[in-house]
Structure 1
Amino acid sequence: MQVTNQVFRYAKKAGASYINKPKMRHYVHCYALHCLDEDASNALRRAFKERGENVGAWRQACYKPLVAIAARQGWDIDAIFNAHPRLAIWYVPTKLRQLCHSERSNAAAAASSSVSGGVADHLPHF
Structure 2
Amino acid sequence: MEEQFNDIKKLVKEAGVENPSVDFLQNVMRNVSVENTSSNKPLVYQPLISRKAWVVIGLIVIGILISLPFLSDGTWALRKFDFPLFSLRDFKNPFSDFRLHATTTYGIIFLAILFTVQITVIKRRIDKIYSI
- Computing the radius of gyration from Cα coordinates, the structure with the larger value is 2
Higher RCO structure (Cα 8 Å, ≥6 apart): 1
Higher helix share: 1
Query: Normalised by the shorter chain, which TM-score bucket?
Result: under 0.3
TM-score, normalised with respect to structure 2: 0.26
TM-score, normalised with respect to structure 1: 0.27
